[in-house]
Amino acid sequence: MRLEGKTALITGAAAGIGRETALLFAAEGAAVVVVDVNDVGGEETAEMVKSDGGRAVYVHADVSSADESENMIRVAEESFGRLDILFNNAGIMDSADGDAVDTADDVWERTLAINLKGVFLGCKYGIPALRRAGGGSIINTASFVALMGAATPQIAYTASKGGVLAMTRELAIVHARENIRVNALCPGPLRTELLMNFLDTDEKKNRRLVHVPMGRFGEAKEMAKAALYLASDDSSYVTGSEFVVDGGITAAYVTPE
Ligand code: NAD
């Protein structure tokens, strides 16, 4: 087991990447702290882990709230005695997020608060806990749109993910000598609710798929496996990376028919 004896906190773990990661990390021996604002889904993830024989606790926390972020870290240490892995994964893609002209202020504010400030707050309260454990691994979910321009405009989302990537680099350098590794996971387009709700017609889905050399959306499980590598000691010399798991999008100039 690759995460035996470790405690992992995963935000946005009521669904999608977060849920699959919680299940995989627990199967690899980690105690898992499931964090979300969706209490029904979050409790369900924790129950799924437990019914598979793993250890999990659910904590309600809106990652854009300083108090709630501080509390989720406190619950992690109180429940399992330590924190070794912090997966800042919660994120939103607002259906009203569009181009710079059309996007309303409140869509911008909310997206940046959850997707970017949420990662900052996770680190602000999580890093002291990782220090107390003697080090650890932080994984921040960015996106391929942090690396390449998207044809479908989503200005607030794109800006938030660019910020996550830049912040990840700085965090990695600043904390490198504390045995804390910090990497960004950059998924391509996935078949999770987040993107399927945004690309809500076949035309929009197909328009996105044109750019994917593999010709399909990725699966949350495939991101969980990448997160496992970054979380475990298998990646002990990897920090500050843009870990791209995107079906080949960022490598492509022209995609095959
Ligand atoms: P998802 O919608 O299936 O899951 C996201 C989870 O985050 C949900 O359970 C939601 O309730 C939770 N959440 C939302 N706001 C929150 C808040 N304020 N506090 C705590 N939890 C909150 O989406 P997913 O596809 O699993 O996305 C996970 C991450 O991956 C996000 O950061 C997303 O931006 C990123 N990502 C997704 C794709 C994709 O195509 N789906 C691509 C690149 C990056």
Q: Tell whether ligand 1 has an atom less than 6 A from the beta carbon of residue 16.
A: yes
14 C-alpha to center of ligand 1: Å? 9
Asked if 22 contacts 32 with a C-beta cutoff of 8 angstroms, the reply is: yes
Write out the CATH class of domain 7-249: alpha beta
The catalytic residues are: 157
In this prediction, residues 118-126 reach a mean pLDDT of 99
pLDDT digits (tens, 9 = 90+) for 148-170: 997 789 999 999 999 999 999 99
* Interval between CA 215 and ligand 1 midpoint (Å): 22
Q: What is the mean pLDDT of the segment spanning 192-214?
A: 90
Closest Cα to atom 5 of ligand 1: 12
Tell which atom from ligand 1 comes closest to the C-alpha of 64. 18
Average pLDDT, the chain: 97
For ligand 1, atom 33, the nearest C-alpha belongs to 91
218 lines ligand 1 (CB under 6 A): no
Domain assignments of the chain as residue spans, ordered by start: 7-249
Over residues 24-54, the pLDDT tens digits come to: 999 999 999 999 999 999 999 999 999 999 9
Q: What is the mean pLDDT of residues 8-34?
A: 98
**Range name among 82-91, 98-107, 135-144, 199-208 with the lowest pLDDT average:** 199-208
Q: Specify the pTM.
A: 0.98
Looking at residue 12, what is its pLDDT?
98
Taking alpha carbons only, the member of 25, 149, 6, 137 closest to residue 81 is 6
- 107 pLDDT higher than 90: yes
Ligand 1 centroid to Cα of residue 89, in Å, is 6
